[in-house]
Amino acid sequence: MMKDKSLGIIGGMGPKATAVFFDKIIDRTLADRDQEHMDMIVLNHATIPDRTSVIASGASSEFLNAIAKDFALLEHAGAANIAIPCNTSHYFYNEMQAMTSIPIINMVDETLKRIHAQYGSGCRVGILATNGTINTGVYAKGCENYSMQLVEPNNEMQRQVMDIIYTDVKGHNNCDPAKLESLIDQLIHNYECQCVILACTELSCIALSGQYAAYSVDAMEVLVERAIQLSGKQYKKPKQ
């Protein structure tokens, strides 16, 4: 069995998503007592610049300079692996990995690897994400590497996605799951996608009904599973 290793988490992007990620790590770890859970160092860096904004403005250095301090803290604390529960931030994955000797779990690649294993080459994959994640093309390029076709929402659907993320979840308004489920339904039935990636950790905060959860591949859940495995623990699948 893999030796137990501590997990560093760079969160705050946003805070609610970080709280959900932490809860999922606890809930999905096979453990009967406190000592059977993993050690974690959680940095809730809520003041870090908005990823979508810095990408759009070309001010990438603002984000990278801010997150450099987090890597230094995690290295000092002895983290063995780093999880960053924010899809948009993975636009900077190569730059971030060059800033630290600690392996950063690549949420985007792990998610696409999972989809390819289940649906194979040539499948049509829908995506629901921030404008920043869509515009960077991180998932589109990843899909090309696995010979899969990424299907992006039209302008009106994308407007609704951003409203759910920024107004409902980040704004702490009550989010009706039916709003997100309607978008998933359109991608599956109107755009003929085999599955839909929930590629924003705020969307992971919304509880979907059974059929829509089955169509969805939650990038945060993939990150949770991989983080648990790399920390030497056993992943416990959620109840259906």
pLDDT tens for each residue of 12-69: 998 988 999 999 999 999 999 999 999 999 999 999 999 989 998 999 999 999 999 9
pLDDT at 187: 98
Query: Tell me, what DSSP letter sits at residue 4?
Result: P
1 within domain boundaries: no
CATH of residue 123:
3.40.50.1860
Residue 197, SS3 per DSSP: strand
Tell me the C-alpha distance between 71 and 74, whole Å: 5
pLDDT at 1: 46
Looking at the structure of the chain, the number of domains it has is: 2
pLDDT at 14: 87
pLDDT at 52: 87
Structure tokens at 36: 């059977």
Residue 179, CA atoms < 13 Å, CB-side half-sphere:
18
pLDDT at 122: 97
pLDDT at 182: 97
Catalytic residue among 86, 143, 175, 195: 86
Same domain, 121 and 81: no
Same domain, 131 and 206: yes
Catalytic residue among 175, 193, 195, 200: 200
Same domain, 96 and 147: no
Same domain, 213 and 113: yes
**Which residue numbers in the chain have pLDDT < 50?**
1
Same domain, 70 and 35: yes
The parent domain of residue 164 ranges over 107-218
pLDDT at 173: 77
239 within domain boundaries: no
- The verdict on whether 200 is a catalytic residue reads yes
124 within domain boundaries: yes
- The verdict on whether 123 is a catalytic residue reads no
